Amino acid sequence: MTEKTYRKALNEALAQAMCASDKVYLIGEDIGVYGGGFDVVCGLIEQFGPERVREVPISESAIAGICVGSAIMGMRPVMELHFGDFITIAMDQIVNQAAKIHYMSNGNITLPMVIRAPFGTGTGAGAQHSQSLESWFTHIPGLVVIEPSNAYDAKGLLLAAIKEENPVIFFEHKMLYDEAMEVPDEKYLLPIGVADVKRTGSDVTIIATAQMVSKALLAAQRLALQGIAVEVVDPRTLIPLDKETLIDSVVKTGRVLIATEEVKTSGFGAEIAAMLAESRAFHSLKMPIKRLGAAFTPTPVAKMLENASIPQISDIILAVEQLIKDTKYITRKRYFTRSF
């Protein structure tokens, strides 16, 4: 085990996948000598050459189309978007082609391709370079959507994504690239569709994604000083979603806060909330489900305004405290009388 940043873990995963199979190749803008928009692919063109690290002109739709075509022919392309926001330019190729060809071919064609999408706030890059658009793709049957929250998960899930036979949208939060932890040097795979309990607790469940996992863990440490035991659950993959792990945690604690960086309105947090409300977890709830998400506004450039637009550690702490405080005002007898 060696301490590695999220960025280094991804770089190592790409190198190991390319060493394991000559069908794996990288494609994107500025991924050659420049090393990619966030330095994730640094050194790979020197190691594997320009045939396997394909630097191409600025046209996300064309790049995604190349990935679809080459995946149909048996290659395993890994596309890098300079910013995840630019995925909007390739929506036809992703949504109408990549996601549907396996189904429309009666299962005879597979699409083993990965689109790496750096996303999220924290860089002051403004409204067109800071969005969290993951919920868009969870609405499309045929796509796998992955959102790792730390370096260990990032490496294992990227390696698994490259082996996956379906197209994968792999979201990487930009503010996680420099976060480090111990990561095995050897190649390893993490199962797609399995959530991870990052911290156990008995009073409140926080279901968090991407950078919100780090914030939730810090909030949980501070809440522990008040005697509040918080359980933090990271779905890791949004599609397929490990519903049972989320449900089991909420059944245990009876209170749940869902924290994501995406705009709260119509975000994936709402899907998780609806899933819990329709499940056996509903009658374990001591309080209504609570959500935190970004404000319904384009992301500001000014740092103070950018921070104000998304949930912070203090917001998570306040929300959990409210869940605990308000429980005494709601009785199960009055509000939750039905049973399964």
- Residues carrying an active site annotation: 129
Measured CA to CA, the distance from residue 299 to residue 59 in angstroms comes to 24
The rounded distance, in Å, linking the Cα atoms of 214 and 137 is 23
How many other CB atoms are found less than 10 A from the CB of residue 75? 18
DSSP letters for 295-327: -SSPPPSSHHHHHHHS--HHHHHHHHHHHHHHG
Query: Among 340, 326, 337, which residue's Cα sits nearest to residue 255?
Result: 326
Burial of 99 (0-12, 13-18, 19+ CB in 10 A): buried
Separation between Cα atoms, residue 38 and residue 104, nearest integer Å: 36
Question: 186: phi > 0 → left, psi -120 to 50 → alpha, else beta; which?
Answer: beta
Phi, psi for residue 115 in degrees, rounded to 5:
-115, 115
Q: Which residue, among 80, 76, 70, 79, has the nearest Cα to 21 in the 3D structure?
A: 76
